[in-house]
Each structure stands twice: as structure tokens, then as C-alpha cells.
């Protein structure tokens, strides 16, 4: 099974390195080409510096994740659970149910563009063919995005190894690495679910947000296979990060909703 898992974080690391090299090339190009620095040069240097910085940050983040993933692949783990194929299929269906909203949103937005195009055709008699064509194209685009976001995600999960690997610095589950590196993510609590004792819950904060990035709370729930409750207890004892009353209250509210 280990040979089936690849360290995909290395791909992100290589992409970050490529972006950084491209940004560096943009910085030195004006000097090599002897461009007018006041007309083009300084602008290109600024843009290149921004690109190189973004690449460097991406490289460092993925490098840290690649190191964590490599430790997991080499056996530096706390627990490794295999799941029955039927159980795994049910877990995947539950997981992809969270992306149903994307499909609905795609259908809604696509239908909105289609309705606008039809109304424009009915009430505006001049030059409506081009506008209708654009609206139809946008509708088809959003339909495809909505359906593909759901089906692609589900296929990826079905192809992922039907197992969960728990290590000191992260968890590999559903084909995705969740790590807590202390910079962009911080582990807060590890415990059994307050209501479902067959779930192991990791609560952590991760840096997210487009306009104002800040640390936001996230949870990762991993089903405990039958007979592995002892391993789960060892994991909880290792991290020694119990849920506080606030976390329990949030999880209870989520269950009630």
C-alpha cells in the first residue's frame, strides 16, 4: 500500500520553485535587455519581485508539507487504519456531500445567465444574437463547473487509498495531507467526538481568507475502524490536547444544525 501513495506535495514544491525562478528572470531581464528603467525596467523589477516572493512562500509551505508527508511514507506514524471497501464508499459519499452546494450554485448561476439571455432576446430586438450566444456560453460554462466540481472530487476520493495515516505532524486521509506546522496551521485539540465515539476529531486553526488572511478554526473527523479504539486512545494520549468547553459547544451546535 505504501508504494501506491506518492508524495504529491513535492509537485507543489516544484511549482513554487518554478514560479520563483520565473520571477527572478523577470527581475534581471530589463538589465540584460538594457531597457529604459524609468519606462519599463522598474515596473518589471517590481512585478518580478512580487512573483518571486509568491513563489518563495509557496515553495517553503510545500517543502514543509513534503517533509511531513515523507515522514508519513517512511513509517514515522502513530496509527494506520485500513477501511472496508463498502465502508469507504459510504465515507466518500458523505464527504462529497459537502460539495453538493457547488453543483447547485453552478446550476443556479448558469440558469440565471440563460434567463437573462432569453429575456434580452424577447425584449431587445436589436443585436440580440451575439448577447444571447454569450449568455448561453456562460450558462454552459457554469453548468460544467458545477457538475465537474462534484464528479471530479468524488472520483478523486474513490481512487485515493482507503486508509487513514496519523502522524505526529499531520494526517493523511482521503488522499489529502492535513498538517499543523505552527506557521500556517496550529493543532488545538485531539479527542473523540462528543456524540459519536467512533470518530476521532482533530481541531486546528489554519491561515485562510482572500482579502484579510487570518487563522480560522477547522476540524477533521476520522472514523475509527472496529477494534481500533485502543489505537485511537493512544493517539489522543500522545497529543494530550483535549477539547475545551467552547469546542464541545461548537460541535454540538453543528450536530444540531
Q: Which of 5-19, 24-38, 139-153, 186-200 has the lowest mean pLDDT?
A: 139-153
Residues 57 and 8 in one domain: yes
Model pTM score = 0.68
Chain centre to alpha carbon of residue 247: 23
Predicted confidence (pLDDT) per residue in 6-60, tens digit: 888 888 899 999 999 999 999 998 888 887 778 778 888 898 899 999 999 889 9
And the C-alpha cell for 40? 519599463
Residue 38 lies in a domain: yes
Q: What is the pLDDT of residue 97?
A: 65
Predicted confidence (pLDDT) per residue in 100-131, tens digit: 566 677 777 778 777 877 776 666 656 566 66
Q: Which of 43, 76, 109 is the last residue in one of the domains? A: 76
Q: What is the pLDDT of residue 13?
A: 92
Q: Which of 46, 76, 106 is the last residue in one of the domains? A: 76
Residues 245 and 185 in one domain: yes
Residue 239 lies in domain: 77-83+162-257
Band (244; pLDDT cuts 50, 70, 90): low
Collapsed DSSP state (helix, strand, coil) of residue 204: strand
| Cα–Cα–Cα angle for 58, 10, 169, rounded to 5 degrees | 80
Residue 222 lies in a domain: yes
Amino acid at each position: 500500500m505504501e508504494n501506491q501513495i506518492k508524495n504529491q506535495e513535492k509537485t507543489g514544491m516544484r511549482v513554487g520553485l518554478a514560479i520563483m525562478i520565473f520571477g527572478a528572470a523577470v527581475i534581471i531581464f530589463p538589465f540584460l535587455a538594457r531597457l529604459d528603467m524609468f519606462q519599463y525596467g522598474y515596473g518589471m523589477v517590481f512585478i518580478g519581485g512580487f512573483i518571486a516572493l509568491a513563489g518563495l512562500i509557496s515553495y517553503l509551505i510545500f517543502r514543509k508539507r513534503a517533509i511531513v508527508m515523507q515522514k508519513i511514507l517512511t513509517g514515522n506514524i502513530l496509527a494506520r487504519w485500513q477501511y472496508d471497501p463498502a465502508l469507504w464508499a459510504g465515507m466518500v459519499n458523505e464527504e462529497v456531500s459537502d460539495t453538493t452546494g457547488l453543483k447547485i450554485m453552478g446550476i443556479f448561476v448558469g440558469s440565471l445567465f440563460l434567463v437573462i439571455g432569453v429575456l434580452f432576446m424577447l425584449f431587445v430586438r436589436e443585436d440580440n444574437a451575439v448577447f444571447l450566444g454569450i449568455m448561453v456560453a456562460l450558462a454552459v460554462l457554469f453548468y460544467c463547473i458545477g457538475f465537474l466540481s462534484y464528479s471530479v472530487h468524488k472520483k478523486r476520493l474513490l481512487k485515493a487509498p482507503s486508509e487513514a495515516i496519523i502522524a505526529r505532524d499531520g494526517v493523511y486521509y482521503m488522499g489529502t495531507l492535513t498538517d499543523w506546522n505552527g506557521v500556517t496551521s496550529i493543532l488545538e485539540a485531539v479527542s473523540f467526538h462528543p456524540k459519536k465515539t467512533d470518530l476521532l476529531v482533530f481541531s486546528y486553526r489554519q491561515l485562510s481568507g482572500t482579502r484579510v488572511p487570518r487563522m480560522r478554526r477547522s476540524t477533521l473527523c476520522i472514523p475509527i475502524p472496529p477494534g481500533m479504539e485502543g489505537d485511537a486512545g493512544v493517539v489522543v494520549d500522545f497529543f494530550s490536547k483535549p477539547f475545551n468547553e467552547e469546542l464541545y459547544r461548537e460541535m454540538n451546535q453543528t450536530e444540531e444544525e
